[in-house]
Amino acid sequence: MSVSKFLANENFSGVSHFFIIEFGPFFRIVIWILLTRYFWQSTFFGSLLLAPSVAMGISQSSERSDLLVLEIPDDCEAIALCGGPYSNFAAVEAFLAETAGMAYRMCLGDMGGFGPLPNRTISMIREAGLICLQGNYDDAVGNGLRDCGCGYSEERDRYFAQLSYDYTYAHTALEHREWMRSLPKLVELHWRDRKVLLCHGSPDQVNEFVWKSETDDAQILDYLSRRCGWRRKTPYPLQPGLRR
C-alpha cells in the first residue's frame, strides 16, 4: 500500500491540460486544469493527498464543519476534477462536455476571478452538479472580504489582482456568493481501499502554494496526520502520481 501525492508544477501553463493519477488498471483520477492563454497563464493551485482506507454517498463530517466526506462505489472506474476555472466559462464548458456521463465530477475551487463572466461560469458549475470545495477566491467573494487572499508578494501583482477581485465581486450574484460561502474547505473521498484528500492550496492554508520542489514526503505525512488523523503503521515510500 502506498501514499501518492500530486503537487503544483511550477512551470505549468497552457491550454486544456489533463493530469492522470493511476492506481491500477481502469482505476484513475482524471484532472483537467482549466487554463487557457486567452485569459491567463498560471500554475495549478491545489493539492491531492492520497492514503490507504476502505469504502461507499456524501456526508458532512460530524467532527469538522469544513470537511465533506464522499463515499465512492467500488465499481466507479474514474473521477474527474478541475482546478481554477477563474470565470473561464469556455474551459468549463469543454470540461463538462469531455466528462459528460461521469458520475463523480469535482472542482477544486477558485471559480471566479480574471475572466469576464463569473456568473455564467458559476451557474454552469452549479447546474452541472459538480462537487466543489472552497478556494481562497470563493472564500473572499462569498464572505465579502477586502481582497482575494491570493497571497501575492509583488506590488504589481497585488494591484492587478485587486482590479480582478473588485470586478468579480461586483459581477457575482448574491445567490452565488451565499453558495460559495457554504462550500467545504476539504473534501475527503473514500474510494475502494484509498482515501483521497482534496484541498485548495494546502490542508493548512487555502492560499498556500505547495511546490513540488519544496515539499518532501515528511511534510505530506504531517498534513495527513494533523488535518485528517491519517496514520501510517508501516514504512512505505510516497509515490508521485503519473502525469500526462
Could you report the per-residue pLDDT of 66-114, keeping only the tens digit for each? 899 999 999 999 999 998 899 999 999 999 999 999 999 999 999 999 9
Of 97 and 45, the structure prediction assigns the larger pLDDT to: 97
CATH code for the structural domain at 3-240: 3.60.21
Of 233 and 124, the structure prediction assigns the larger pLDDT to: 124
Kindly indicate the confidence band of residue 153, based on its pLDDT and cuts at 50, 70 and 90. Answer: confident
| Residue ranges of domains in the chain | 3-240
Looking at residue 217, what is its pLDDT? 82
Give the type of residue at 60: Q
Looking at residue 211, what is its pLDDT? 83
The pTM score is 0.73
Q: Is the pLDDT of residue 6 over 60?
A: no
